[in-house]
Chains A and B, each alone.
Chain A
Amino acid sequence: MTSRRGSADERRDRMRVRIEESVLPPLVALAIAAVVGDVLILIFGQSPGEVYRQLLEGTWGNAYGFGQVIYKATTLTFTGLAVAIGIRAGLFNIGAEGQLASGGFLAALVGLALPAGTPGIIAILLCLVAAAAGGGVVGAIPGALKARFGASEVIVTIMLNFIVLALLNYIVAAHVHVAETLHTPEIRAGSMPRLGDVSARFAGSAANTTFLFALVAAVGVWWYLFRTRQGYELRAVGLQPDAAEYGGVRVGSVWAKAMIVSGALAGLGGVNYVLGYKHYYEEGFGTGSGFLGIAVALVGRNHPVGVVIAALLFATLSQGGLAVNALVPKQMVDVLTAVVIIAVATSVPEVRRALASARRARGTGGREPDSAPSEGLISNPGPSSQFPVTDSGS
């Protein structure tokens, strides 16, 4: 009886450690960002309390603002999941920007090619497949180059962003744009219902049913990562590529697969704009969402639940910037976003060290920092294994 109680205690202890290590860094980062925000607001001669009040009111305080938050969070959930799944495999996908655009473009092409009367479900499914394929192909390139030549996926994805965007700009400008604009004609089939069609309170906001697909994608990623053999291999490769290789996992093929899935997820994000909002592909429609996906994955600690929450957070910031633009420049939120990223990246190892020494001082469960990689599923054990790309190896 006592032994069972003991193991339950132990499990609860481990759970608490995990939760502390995964939740504290984002909280510390938000506190730092709030201070920086205060300073910026004061520099601009406004009252921080008033600005934050308007920021909340303009986002969660009314249906339109909330709809905009949902819309932005939808795209960010997709790009955040894309980055997170890459990091789980030990890869840094900075190419979500290009994958998103490519997915949106192919979805628009399919929507254009379908006859007007195509049943909604079939059209939407075909467009989704196209979007995933568009992003997946772009993701496959760095994956294959990494697996085959060991080429740094960080550099390849960055360079591919420029290449893909230039290529899409060319195709749109030269072949499929509406005169005098930078966008394609409207799709004939495959558009997603807007929330405004369901409830008049959301009228005017861009929120649409794509957010349901984003939630499905988050659940799907969770299932894939934590309940399938492939997901297990992917995480094993992310934590210890050499050990995984030794254990019989083909690391190169896992990398290639992970990048395809990652790219496909980012590509699906394009659906939100193309099928859900404007119904056409436009040059630069998702600019910044790919990079924000990195912030989302980081703050969400690479866990699907965390990603959804972090996507809502950054969507709130982004929409909130517009809500307070009359008081302070909306660019303030860009600064805060960057501060959050830097602070999280910096505080993850610091918080872990501080927690460990606090526990040692109390004499309870003194887990060394950077220990047992197998424990680091939610909160990875250290910066080195969270981003093995830049493994400190020391």
Chain B
Amino acid sequence: MIAFLVQTLRIAVPYLFAAAGGIVSERAGIIALTLEGFMLTGAFCAALGSYYSGSAWVGIVAGLAGGLVAALLHALATIRYRADQVVVGIAMNLLAVGVTRFFLRLAFDSSSNSPRVPGFGGTDVDSAVLASLANPLVWLGIITMAVVAWLLYRTPFGLRVRAAGEKPEAAVSVGVPVKRVRWLAVAVSGMCAALAGAYLALDQHQFTDGMTAGRGFIALAAVIFGKWDPKRVTVACVLFAAAETMQIRLQSLQIVPSQFVEMIPYLLTIVALAGVVGRAAQPAALGKAVD
């Protein structure tokens, strides 16, 4: 039972990080299609930083920096130049795939993975439970969502973020610097998603090509299924992670084909969007540019 919970937690951590970023971005009115790309960038930069410095902590910082740069590029195109958020979002994901592969070849002369890099937990700790408890990113992942909830509902910045996502024109007219708030929100989302990626790379002690494997989209699914509310999104993340854990544990029994378990987050999101279990109302100005 404890093993099950710990495994669920380990799978949920990247979802929590990325979904926290997704909430901030979407609540500010910027569609979070880019989580996947930010995550991949973060994972690669974390592996790179950890490899060259020999310290996983430097890896985290490098991952954060990578996610931040990617996020600023996204913000530049969509906020400064008002380019379409969906188009640029899709392109950012393609860009992350291309850039990480290119620099994987350049830095490590490999098209599939980096060499082993310093990370958290691992060989010297036998038990997965202990390894997880010793991984600071696991704790940070749990805290991040709480911080985001506090930020959104208890701080002036959070109020401005919500105003930017719901009624940007009104916010502008009362002096809220909506564009700057959105820049900040995208930067935060980039760094949160990058932490998700850094967690993956440092947990597995290497970067592998495409290692995020759609997790950024599962995080987005959690944001939508959780109706953009930190508490509900946390529940969604844990739910999706528990389903995956269940599938991994029951694999040998062949009760449900793994492909059907994979579908769960996506199916639930569509169901939520169709309003079957209460209407999922997105931030009113989501995807809308501001002059």
B86 to chain A: which residues have CB within 8 Å? 92, 94, 154, 387, 389-390
Residues 172-206 of chain B, each 1 if its beta carbon lies under 8 Å from chain A, else 0: 00000000000000000000000000000000000
Smallest CB separation, A2 vs chain B (Å):
42
From known contacts A145-B270, A345-B91, infer whether A163 and B263 are also in contact, taking CB-CB under 8 Å.
yes
B85 to chain A: which residues have CB within 8 Å? 390
Contact B84 A390 (CB under 8 A): yes
Interface centre among A334, A336, A349, A387 (most CB of B within 10 A): A334
Q: Which of A148, A158, A173, A390 contacts B217 (CB 8 A)?
A: A158
A246 interface residue (CB < 8 Å to B): no
A392 to chain B: which residues have CB within 8 Å? 82, 288-291
The tally of residues in B whose CB lies under 8 Å from a CB in A reads: 49
B130 to chain A: which residues have CB within 8 Å? none
Contact A390 B287 (CB under 8 A): yes
Query: Which residues of chain A from 340 to 394 have a CB within 8 Å of any chain B CB?
Result: 341-342, 345-346, 348-350, 383-384, 386-387, 389-394
Query: Which residues of chain A from 4 to 54 have a CB within 8 Å of any chain B CB?
Result: 40, 43-44
Residues 85-111 of chain B, each 1 if its beta carbon lies under 8 Å from chain A, else 0: 111101110110111011001100001
B102 to chain A: which residues have CB within 8 Å? 40, 329, 331-332, 334-335
B33 to chain A: which residues have CB within 8 Å? 154, 158
Contact B289 A329 (CB under 8 A): no
From known contacts A334-B94, A383-B289, A392-B289, infer whether A159 and B266 are also in contact, taking CB-CB under 8 Å.
yes
Identify which of A63-71, A164-172, A176-184, A218-226 touches chain B. Answer: A164-172
Kindly state the separation between the CA atoms of A145 and B257 in the bound complex, as whole angstroms.
27
B229 interface residue (CB < 8 Å to A): no
Contact A387 B270 (CB under 8 A): no
Q: How many A-B residue pairs have CB under 8 A?
A: 155
Contact A345 B87 (CB under 8 A): yes
Query: Which residues of chain A from 66 to 115 have a CB within 8 Å of any chain B CB?
Result: 92, 94
Kindly state the separation between the CA atoms of A158 and B95 in the bound complex, as whole angstroms.
18
B269 interface residue (CB < 8 Å to A): yes
Contact A145 B259 (CB under 8 A): no
A329 to chain B: which residues have CB within 8 Å? 101-102, 105-106, 111
Contact B289 A338 (CB under 8 A): no
From known contacts A329-B105, A342-B92, A390-B289, infer whether A337 and B263 are also in contact, taking CB-CB under 8 Å.
no
Residues 295-312 of chain A, each 1 if its beta carbon lies under 8 Å from chain B, else 0: 100100000000000000
Contact A159 B269 (CB under 8 A): yes
B273 to chain A: which residues have CB within 8 Å? 145, 149, 151-152, 155-156
Q: Which of B77, B95, B106 contacts A43 (CB 8 A)?
A: B106
Q: Which of A155, A298, A389 contacts B269 (CB 8 A)?
A: A155
Contact A94 B90 (CB under 8 A): yes
Residues 249-291 of chain B, each 1 if its beta carbon lies under 8 Å from chain A, else 0: 0000000010110110011011001110000001000011111
Question: Residue on B with the closest CB to A335?
Answer: B98
Question: Residue on A with the closest CB to B269?
Answer: A159
Smallest CB separation, B225 vs chain A (Å):
10
Q: Which of B220, B263, B269 contacts A167 (CB 8 A)?
A: B263
Question: Residue on B with the closest CB to A339?
Answer: B95
Contact B91 A170 (CB under 8 A): no
B291 to chain A: which residues have CB within 8 Å? 392, 394
Smallest CB separation, A274 vs chain B (Å):
21
B221 to chain A: which residues have CB within 8 Å? 159
Kindly state the separation between the CA atoms of A162 and B267 in the bound complex, as whole angstroms.
9
Question: Residue on B with the closest CB to A144?
Answer: B274
A148 to chain B: which residues have CB within 8 Å? 274
Interface size class of A (residues with CB under 8 A): 35 or more
Kindly state the separation between the CA atoms of A170 and B247 in the bound complex, as whole angstroms.
15
Contact B270 A159 (CB under 8 A): yes
Interface centre among B102, B267, B282 (most CB of A within 10 A): B102
B13 to chain A: which residues have CB within 8 Å? none
A291 interface residue (CB < 8 Å to B): yes
A324 interface residue (CB < 8 Å to B): no
Smallest CB separation, A340 vs chain B (Å):
8
B77 to chain A: which residues have CB within 8 Å? 342, 345-346
B82 to chain A: which residues have CB within 8 Å? 349, 383, 392
From known contacts A159-B270, A166-B263, infer whether A345 and B94 are also in contact, taking CB-CB under 8 Å.
no
A268 interface residue (CB < 8 Å to B): no
A174 interface residue (CB < 8 Å to B): yes
Contact B97 A334 (CB under 8 A): yes
Contact A341 B224 (CB under 8 A): no
Question: Residue on A with the closest CB to B169?
Answer: A394
B83 to chain A: which residues have CB within 8 Å? 342, 345-346, 348-349, 383
Query: Which residues of chain B from 50 to 99 have a CB within 8 Å of any chain A CB?
Result: 73, 77, 81-88, 90-92, 94-95, 97-99
Q: Which of B90, B257, B288 contacts A341 (CB 8 A)?
A: B90
Contact B263 A162 (CB under 8 A): yes
Contact B259 A167 (CB under 8 A): yes
Smallest CB separation, B166 vs chain A (Å):
13
Interface centre among B92, B275, B289 (most CB of A within 10 A): B289
Residues 17-47 of chain B, each 1 if its beta carbon lies under 8 Å from chain A, else 0: 0000000000000010100000000000000
Contact A170 B259 (CB under 8 A): yes
Smallest CB separation, A57 vs chain B (Å):
22
B136 interface residue (CB < 8 Å to A): no
A160 interface residue (CB < 8 Å to B): yes
Q: Report which A residues bind B (CB closer than 8 A).
A: 40, 43-44, 92, 94, 145, 148-149, 151-152, 154-156, 158-160, 162-163, 166-167, 169-170, 173-174, 291, 294-295, 298, 329, 331-339, 341-342, 345-346, 348-350, 383-384, 386-387, 389-394
Closest 9 CB pairs of A and B: A334-B98, A338-B95, A341-B91, A331-B101, A335-B98, A170-B259, A390-B287, A159-B266, A151-B273
Q: List 5 A-B contacts (CB under 8 A).
A: A155-B220, A163-B267, A295-B91, A331-B105, A392-B291
Given pairs A43-B106, A338-B91, A391-B288, 8 additional interface contacts (CB within 8 A): A152-B282, A155-B224, A155-B270, A291-B90, A294-B87, A338-B98, A341-B91, A345-B77
Q: Report which B residues bind A (CB closer than 8 A).
A: 31, 33, 73, 77, 81-88, 90-92, 94-95, 97-99, 101-102, 105-106, 111, 169, 214, 217, 220-221, 224, 257, 259-260, 262-263, 266-267, 269-270, 273-275, 282, 287-291
